[in-house]
Amino acid sequence: MIVIKKTMAFLLSDYKKLLEFLKKKGYSFGPVKTYYEGVIPPFIFLRHDVDRFSSRAVKMAQAEHDLNVSSTYYFRCGRKGAFPSGSIKKIAALGHEIGFHYETMVREKGDLSASLKLFGHELEGLRKIADVKTVSAHGSPLSRYYNADIRKRLPLKRFSLVGEPMVDMDFSKILYVTDTGGTFGSQHNLRDRSVGRNFKIPSSPFSLGEMLVPEKEPMILLSCHPERWPCGGVGLLQAAGMDMGAIVLKKIVRSLRR
């Protein structure tokens, strides 16, 4: 595990070790949609927002499959609605859930009705590739608009969805853990948090694994961005560099907004 000053990136093998360690502690794992079907605790819902480098998501999906674990991969599309269909098909074939990672509020500059219309259109495009039951908002930390602003107003039934985890999960009971900001519990995470319980202690995968105990934390939503978990050292430096760049940009945006 390489630690680069304040920010960190980790290897896919570290992620595998984290899952194996938590499995030994008694946790079961599953995709986000299983929350709406009912699960037996201790249980960890695995969420992956595929922001960039969908090939890294395929590798993570294969690693989970090797451990007999399934999870949810949320995919974005380009401005013309194109999804990385090859990666999506491979991940769905491994038994994982495919979800829609929407950013329609930013694309429609805060216009709610235009954003919902675009949401429906892009979701339809993703459904031509895979079944979709849940959706999650892309952070877009550098934009003045919040994609998450439409999540409370999503007509789930109309879109044949079962939930948007950040709205339709009970975070008074579930602990939200994310690697946004470069490490688990990062202080550089500006927007990616639940309305309830959030893990806030900056931690490596190893120390996170140590801290999570089924008796204290029976239900967890664990969000890991596949682009932060490459297979080798070059990807590690590149992921850490991206994090450092993002931290600097977030600081500039924050000071400009003040």
Residues lying near Zn ion in the complex (CB under 5 A): 49, 51, 138
Over its C-alpha atoms, the chain yields an Rg (Å, rounded) of: 17
Could you tell me how many helices (H) and strands (E) the chain has, helices first?
8, 10
What are the CA-CA distances from residue 124 to residues 7, 163, 253 (Å)? 37, 16, 34
CB nearer Zn ion, residue 47 or residue 138: 138
- Residue identified by tokens 């992956």 is 48
Shortest Cβ distance from residue 24 to Zn ion (Å)?
A: 30
Q: Which residue is nearest to Zn ion (CB)?
A: 138
Shortest Cβ distance from residue 51 to Zn ion (Å)?
A: 4
CB nearer Zn ion, residue 16 or residue 48: 48
| Nearest-angstrom CA–CA distance, 189 and 217 | 22
DSSP state for residue 226 in the 8-state scheme: G
Shortest Cβ distance from residue 140 to Zn ion (Å)?
A: 8
CB nearer Zn ion, residue 133 or residue 138: 138
E strand segments, 32-104: 43-50, 72-75, 97-102
| Nearest-angstrom CA–CA distance, 121 and 113 | 13
CB nearer Zn ion, residue 42 or residue 72: 72
CB nearer Zn ion, residue 192 or residue 217: 192
Shortest Cβ distance from residue 21 to Zn ion (Å)?
A: 26
| Nearest-angstrom CA–CA distance, 118 and 146 | 15
| CB-CB contact of 11 with 206 (8 Å) | no
Shortest Cβ distance from residue 20 to Zn ion (Å)?
A: 26
Q: Which two three-digit tokens encode residue 182?
A: 């470069």
Shortest Cβ distance from residue 139 to Zn ion (Å)?
A: 5
| CB-CB contact of 97 with 133 (8 Å) | yes
CB nearer Zn ion, residue 42 or residue 99: 99
Q: Which amino acid, one-letter code, is at 87?
A: S
